[in-house]
Chains A and B, each alone.
Chain A
Amino acid sequence: MESLTFRHTTRKPLPGSVPNAITGVVASGNLEILLERVLAPDACEVAIETPIAGYGDVWEAVVADFVARAQPGGLRISINDGGARPDTVSLRLLQGARLMEA
């Protein structure tokens, strides 16, 4: 298993007040994402556990694009990966952010 952590500073906090949410399932080609509103409003941390090593730069790019797009300030995001493709990761991250904004 490979562990990756990315920390970003956001321009604004993620809207809404939902304290936490989970989406997705740890299955082949899928992943689960746990989102918790526990950080400073301009901070976002994404921690990943993945069984597929060597894709750190791809994860970094996916997370950076997500942060730029969703501005998920205040969120600690934890990912259990089952070997999901980057597009699935993006989709789940956006789904998770939407749940937190509700």
Chain B
Amino acid sequence: MTEWRGERRARDARIAAGRAHATGKVVPAVAVVDLLEAILRPGDRVCLEGDNQKQADCLARGLSACDPGKIHDLHMVQSGIVLPEHLDVFETGIAKRLDYSYSGPQGARIAKMLYGGQIELGAVHTYLELFARYFVDLTPNVALIAGVSADREGNLYTGPNTEDTPTVVEATAFKNGVVVAQVNEIVDRVPRVDIPGDRVDFVVEADRPFYVEPLFTRDPAAMTETQILIAMMAIKGIYAEYGIRRLNHGIGFGTAAIELLLPTYGEKLGLKGKIATHWALNPHPTLIPAIESGWVKQVHCFGSEVGMDRYIRERPDIFFTGADGSLRSNRAFCQTAGLYACDMFIGATLQIDLSGHSSTITQSRVAGFGGAPNMGSDPHGRRHPSDAWMKAGREGQIVGDPALMRGRKLVVQLVETFGDKLVPTFVEQLDALELARKIGLELAPVMIYADDVTHIVTEEGIANLLLCRDVDEREQAIRGVAGYTAVGRGRDRAKVEELRARGIIRRPEDLGIEPLDADRALLAAKSIKDLVHWSGGLYEPPAKFRNW
């Protein structure tokens, strides 16, 4: 006899075992370890929700306190490795195998543990890639998620940081898995239902509110003239040139400077309404002046940002909000939007090589990818035209039969030629290759592959890689904007001037930009306090960004 309901019966048994520690679905924080030991089995695939912002930290502490004699060899499948507990479980043997996307703050430790063999690595994914595998071959047996509040039936309000939760729950709850949610409080009625209660098996009232880091706040006070110059070049040489309306920005200072130049420099160029109207973007505080000046039509968000909640509530025409008024974010949908519905991704990176491969890996850190490669890639499944997409396609000579021509997404790297401590951004070989060799990764952790990158913008100029016709041109185009790095000084000057004559390299003066005009006076906001003023007092920055 074929067994058709084995997974379902196992799930029912787990839930029954867990009920011993619950009143209905509600479990007190003190009983978390008992609950987890009751519902987990050795070798389980477990998603311990670690998002870009929101962390199921109470459940993470609980999992790391489980008895490794009972719970061991778990296979962790989660997007973010953010908290120390996320790695502690590998030291104690509670977990053995890992598939993940992003490990910013734990990047150095994860590299050490990979090297030491404490972690058996599946792969480092992009967000959409990992989410996709949740539904194919990495479906969790147990999901440990986080929300702001829940009622006793398990209806869950995630708050503005919905992020990965719907995706994780979808994959787990509908494929015989167990879902445990930690919440800041149990309420009689949740403000809105982000996850229906019949998908949540247990609700843990956490001992303290889950932790959220302000990841997307860039203080305008720290913006330099060089970043402003780069932003001016990007606006004039790319946004205006291609008429970019639908886009995603990375989280660096360069793109934040662009946001702050839209209402000033962009306005002066007469670009309002012609560029940067529709966004897939976290609610960056630096976008407030552009929103308030009427530049922005709408913004869909991966997650929220600390301090932006009141502002978003008062701007429902711009943001996606629930019936309760608060932001509804969704990482999977927003990543998809960034991949398919945007004409441009523009972001920073730490290293670029001579072909244009880029990486945020340094020799001792495995930071992972997050979502940049999803948005920073040309989606071959795209079938709708736009002027920007078609122009880029023509420049890249995606030709042949004109009737079969298709466009090309713009993937722009915005970098300063030197990073902190005079570390060069342009290199002969990415550190990622050495790291992969050292810890035995089959794939070198490349953030954006060269064939996806269309433009590189530095303070020295813009290199349009679409227009390069061979490998040598491409290399000289990159050297030609690499400034005084060794790569830049190694340029063939005659060849670079030829590329400039053909418009493949464009200097500030070629764009009609005087570098000495790159002044902080151009920033629509020069401080966090200015952003608060722009927002009419609705933006409430976290204490670490205040000087009042």
Contact = CB atoms under 8 A, between A and B. Distances in A.
Q: Do chains A and B touch in the complex (CB under 8 A)?
A: yes
Interface of A: 52, 55, 57-58, 61-62, 83, 85-88, 91, 94-95, 98
B422 interface: yes
B215 to A, nearest CB: 23
B489 interface: yes
A86 B416 CA distance: 10
Given A55-B422, A61-B484, A87 B226 contact: yes
B422 A85 contact: yes
Interface of B: 224-226, 229, 416-418, 421-422, 459-460, 483-484, 489, 515-516, 518
Contacts of A83: 421-422
18 contacts: A55-B422, A57-B489, A58-B489, A61-B484, A83-B421, A85-B226, A85-B416, A85-B418, A86-B418, A86-B483, A87-B226, A87-B416, A87-B459, A88-B224, A91-B229, A94-B516, A95-B516, A98-B516
A91 B416 contact: no
Contacts of A86: 417-418, 483-484
Contacts of A61: 484, 489
A87 B516 contact: no
A91 B515 contact: yes
B483 to A, nearest CB: 6
B484 A58 contact: yes
A52 B516 contact: no
A83 B422 CA distance: 8
Contacts of B460: 87
Contacts of B515: 91, 94
A91 B226 contact: yes
Contacts of B516: 91, 94-95, 98
Contacts of A98: 516
Contacts of B226: 85, 87-88, 91
A83 to B, nearest CB: 7
A39 B323 CA distance: 73
Nearest to B518: A91
Contacts of B422: 52, 55, 83, 85
Given A86-B417, A88-B226, 9 more contacts: A55-B422, A57-B489, A85-B418, A86-B483, A86-B484, A87-B226, A87-B416, A91-B226, A91-B518
B545 to A, nearest CB: 20
